[in-house]
């Protein structure tokens, strides 16, 4: 009888020991006192084994409910407070850290889960989780998320650099930018903002066009004029190819990806030319470089409207709102076409371009 009493006492002691919670520790071996801070640093270590199994088992339903409802802080507090070492408990810490945005720490806990005591042994108590499959899924999610975050940071850094470069160019050219006038009525193709504001020298109040504007043969932008032939264009480094379309107004299309310039105070790049049926340049096009936004569009639009005050002004808006164009056409005056295309990631990029069209197109 005495022997049975002793055995029963030992059995009861074992059960009580199984219900005792030992808590969690830091890497230095000290008890965790600031759970969130330790969680973020990836420092929580679960040291308790058999003696905490009862406490962990008694909280399994609670922890699964916290997991399902994405209550990450409460889940981490509960797991850390019990301190039971298993693949499921470390998985819970990893998922809580991931949910709170502590990605580096989450990777640490997921890796610890791979080497911890298995909940899916002889008696499966994993509450529907499949390990290591779910652990690997968490690691894969984090790898993708971190790569995307790194790409976003690199893109942001590049945009900031382009923005600074564009701002520098604008600052350097704002007081000396070239204004192109595409008319055949008088003599000069260059004017500064100050000259345009002089009514006696620049603008006619009668017909609404610039005075002293050049014949077509005298006009040039970035060393290109409307009387240049394809051979002359190719000597400047353009690569020309015959038009593949059925448009009889286009003989060839030419490109020069290394050419840069300035139009209305903004830097330009990627020059494109169209050779018309006359065998000469009919369209000069270029993209504005640097970071261009809608404010830049309206700024350039205002300048073009100021320097191209021709009759028959036309403004049209694309139905989808992606393409905006302003054309100035009057008799022998050429058109200035400003095109702004909003970005539709990842399919298209935001672009702003300018095109000067020869009066020959409108005859």
Q: What is the pLDDT of residue 354?
A: 87
Q: What is the pLDDT of residue 335?
A: 65
Q: What is the pLDDT of residue 349?
A: 74
In a domain, 80, yes or no: yes
* Residue recorded with tokens 């400047």: 236
How sure is the predictor about 186, in pLDDT bands with cuts at 50, 70 and 90? very low
Domain-ending residue, one of 127, 147, 167 = 147
- pLDDT top residue among 264 and 198: 264
How sure is the predictor about 22, in pLDDT bands with cuts at 50, 70 and 90? low
Q: What is the pLDDT of residue 184?
A: 32
What's the longest Cα–Cα distance across the chain?
Answer: 126
Same domain? 130 vs 216: no
* Residue recorded with tokens 């604008």: 170
Share above pLDDT 70 across residues of the chain, in percent, rounded to a whole number:
67
In a domain, 163, yes or no: no
What count of residues does the chain have? 363
From 334, 326, 304, 297, select the one nearest 220 (Cα to Cα): 334
Q: What is the pLDDT of residue 257?
A: 84
Same domain? 139 vs 181: no
Q: What is the pLDDT of residue 315?
A: 42
Same domain? 181 vs 143: no
In a domain, 257, yes or no: yes
Output the CA torsion 167→179→314→311 (10° steps).
Answer: 150
Contact 298, 316 (CB under 8 A): no
Total domains, the chain: 2
- 115 pLDDT exceeds 50? yes
Contact 26, 37 (CB under 8 A): no
pLDDT tens track for 209-231: 333 334 454 567 888 988 899 99
Share above pLDDT 90 across residues of the chain, in percent, rounded to a whole number:
42
Q: What is the pLDDT of residue 286?
A: 92
How many CB atoms neighbour CB 184 within 10 A? Answer: 17
Same domain? 92 vs 217: no
How sure is the predictor about 234, in pLDDT bands with cuts at 50, 70 and 90? very high
In a domain, 169, yes or no: no
In a domain, 153, yes or no: no
Same domain? 141 vs 181: no
Task: Supply the pTM of this predicted model.
Answer: 0.45
Same domain? 65 vs 110: yes
What is the side-by-side strand order in the sheet with 335-341? 239-242, 252-263, 266-275, 281-288, 351-357, 335-341, 323-328, 313-317
- 196: Cα within 13 Å, side-chain hemisphere: 21
Residue 293: domain span: 177-362
Domain-ending residue, one of 131, 147, 163 = 147
State the average pLDDT for the chain: 74
How sure is the predictor about 361, in pLDDT bands with cuts at 50, 70 and 90? confident
Q: What is the pLDDT of residue 311?
A: 38
* Residue recorded with tokens 């690569």: 239
Q: What is the pLDDT of residue 213?
A: 37
Tokens of residue 49, six digits: 């084994």
In a domain, 166, yes or no: no
Same domain? 140 vs 267: no
In a domain, 103, yes or no: yes
- 2 pLDDT exceeds 50? no
Tokens of residue 81, six digits: 């407070």
Q: What is the pLDDT of residue 94?
A: 97
Same domain? 36 vs 134: yes
Same domain? 185 vs 140: no
Q: What is the pLDDT of residue 136?
A: 96
Same domain? 245 vs 331: yes
In a domain, 168, yes or no: no
pLDDT tens track for 155-184: 888 888 877 776 666 565 444 333 333 333
Same domain? 182 vs 325: yes
pLDDT tens track for 317-356: 333 223 333 333 344 455 677 877 776 776 667 788 888 8
pLDDT tens track for 41-80: 999 999 999 899 999 999 999 999 999 999 999 999 999 9
- pLDDT top residue among 142 and 348: 142
CA dihedral over 59, 18, 134, 127, signed as positive or negative: negative
Same domain? 13 vs 120: yes
């Amino acid at each position: 009888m005495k022997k049975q009493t002793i055995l029963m006492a030992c059995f009861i002691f074992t059960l009580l020991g199984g219900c005792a919670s030992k808590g969690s520790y830091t890497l230095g071996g000290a008890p965790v006192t600031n759970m969130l801070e330790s969680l973020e640093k990836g420092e929580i270590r679960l040291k308790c084994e058999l003696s905490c199994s009862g406490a962990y088992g008694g909280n399994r339903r609670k922890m699964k409910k916290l997991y399902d409802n994405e209550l990450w802080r409460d889940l981490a507090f509960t797991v850390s407070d019990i301190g039971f070492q298993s693949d499921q408990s470390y998985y819970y810490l990893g998922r809580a850290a991931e949910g709170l945005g502590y990605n580096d720490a989450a990777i640490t806990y997921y890796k610890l889960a791979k080497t911890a005591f298995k909940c899916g042994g002889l008696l499966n108590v994993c509450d529907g989780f499949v390990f290591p499959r779910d652990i690997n899924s968490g690691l894969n999610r984090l790898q993708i998320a971190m790569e995307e975050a790194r790409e976003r940071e690199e893109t942001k850094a590049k945009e900031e650099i382009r923005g600074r470069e564009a701002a520098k160019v604008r600052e350097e050219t704002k007081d000396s930018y070239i204004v192109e006038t595409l008319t055949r009525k008088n003599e000069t193709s260059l004017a500064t903002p100050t000259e345009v504001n002089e009514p006696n020298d620049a603008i006619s109040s009668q017909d609404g066009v610039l005075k002293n504007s050049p014949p077509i043969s005298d006009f040039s932008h970035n060393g290109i004029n409307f009387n240049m032939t394809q051979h002359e264009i190719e000597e400047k480094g353009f690569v020309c190819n015959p038009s593949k379309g059925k448009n009889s107004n286009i003989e060839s299309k030419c490109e020069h990806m290394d050419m840069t310039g300035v139009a209305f105070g903004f830097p330009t790049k990627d020059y494109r030319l169209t050779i018309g049926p006359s065998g000469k340049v009919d369209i000069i096009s270029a993209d504005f470089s640097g970071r261009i936004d809608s404010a830049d569009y309206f700024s350039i639009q205002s300048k073009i409207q100021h320097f191209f005050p021709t009759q028959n002004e036309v403004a049209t808006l694309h139905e989808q709102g992606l393409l905006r164009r302003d054309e100035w056409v009057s008799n022998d005056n050429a058109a200035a076409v400003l095109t702004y295309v909003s970005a539709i990631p990842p399919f298209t990029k935001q672009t702003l371009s300018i095109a000067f069209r020869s009066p020959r197109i409108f005859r």
